[in-house]
Amino acid sequence: MLSVALVGGLHSDARRAAVDRLLADVPGSVALHHDLATAPETGTVARTVRDATGVLSTGETPLVNDCACCALREDLVPELERFRDSGLTRLAVVELWDSVEPRAMAEVVAKAGFRIGAVVTAVDPALLLPYLGNGDDLADVGLAAAATDRRTVADTWARQLEYAPVLAVVESPEAGGEDRALLDQLHPTALRIPVEGGGLAAAVFAGFDVEAAAAAQHPACALLPQEADDHGVGTYVWRHHRPFHPERLWAALEDLTCAAARSRGRFYLADRPDTLLAWDAAGGALCVESAGPWLASLPDAAWEMVPPLRRAAAALDWHPEHGDRCQHLVFTSPGLDRDGLAELLGSCLLTDAEYAAGRESWKGLGSDFDHLLEV
């Protein structure tokens, strides 16, 4: 039976090394790679298929809707079907192009009925912080997957890193204890495998549940990092049940965003207490989005339509007054100022007097969040 492993990441040399290791260690394996680099100029995406001995075939597929990633999706499944039908391929390694995010491709592959053995992100520890701190648009560095691609290097890299349960880590003489501590704290639950150690082959057959991975990415139940401090790198977990004052939080956003290399979590505002908001910051840029309602705001009958993981996460966070509503923000960075963050975040909460005034009075606490969340 054909198994598919997705290997991605912006660290292209590390990614290529991980794929080469799999081809060398797994008999009957092939690697499929779609190169999107020249797609805007040529109107096509270049495809390469290789095994441990070298290139087996090359080809091109045209852009779809002026989108290189769309072309990749259209071409990927027929190629995997060809491998499966031949009966000669044990493992198909899909080497994702630089800025392609693994979640989208994993869902395409799973929907087509293929077994995904693993999703892997390749990492060079020495490049971890430089990429995480890079706020450049992908379009400005030639890595956009479509003309409408507005992602940045930092937020793309963060999602690639945090989605994959397996990290293939290359040896890097330039990497120090700080780099390794940062990697450990950003994704503490990941299985980290040295590419040079030969253990990657076993990991790519373990199995990957696309639906469970998607559920675990939801801001309400994402498994966020815990408190840590090592080699000058810190992770600070800030939690509270009192609502944020929208105007004061808005005024503090720039300072909070720049306080850490990476921050994420969930929160809520006093003027919209039923809306779960997602916090996602990297590279000096912050994305705030509505992630739907808190479960405490739903009627009991609606709970049956909520995934079990979400209900379990809510139960763990349940407060007798606020339900699952909470502020849960996590900041990870070298040189983290925990005391400064605690003071700033605390100043953004409702004061005792504001809180005592009650929900009806909170509804009038409008801010620029109103415009942001209605776009």
Per-residue model confidence as pLDDT tens digits over 337-353: 999 999 999 999 999 99
What is the secondary structure of 327-372 as a DSSP string? EEEEEEEET--HHHHHHHHHHTBPPHHHHHH-HHHHTT---THHHH
pLDDT at 134 over 50: yes
pLDDT, position 308: 86
Per mean pLDDT, which range of 147-151, 273-277, 341-345 is the poorest? 147-151
DSSP 268-304: EETTEEEEEEEEEEETTEEEEEEEEE-GGGS-GGGGG
pLDDT at position 375 is 47
* Residues 227-243, mean pLDDT to the nearest whole number: 97
Q: Are 276 and 265 in contact (CB under 8 A)?
A: no
pLDDT 10s digits, 3-20 = 999 999 999 999 999 999
Exposure b/e, 38-64, CB count within 10 A at least 16 = b: ebeeeebbbbebbbeeeeeeeeebebb
What is the rounded distance in angstroms from the CA atom of residue 226 to the CA atom of residue 212? 21
Calpha distance 219→159 (Å, rounded)? 13
Q: Is residue 51 a contact partner of residue 91, using CB atoms and an 8 Å limit?
A: no
What is the residue type of 211?
Answer: E
Q: In what side-by-side order are the strands of the sheet with 327-334?
A: 228-230, 233-240, 327-334, 262-269, 272-282, 285-293
206/108 Cα distance (integer angstroms): 19
Residue 104 DSSP symbol: H
Residue 248 CB neighbours (<10 A): 17
Distance CA(267)–CA(148), nearest Å, equals 29
Considering the entire predicted model, what is its pTM? 0.93
Tokens of 56: 């087996």
Q: Are strands 262-269 and 91-95 parallel, antiparallel or unpaired?
A: unpaired
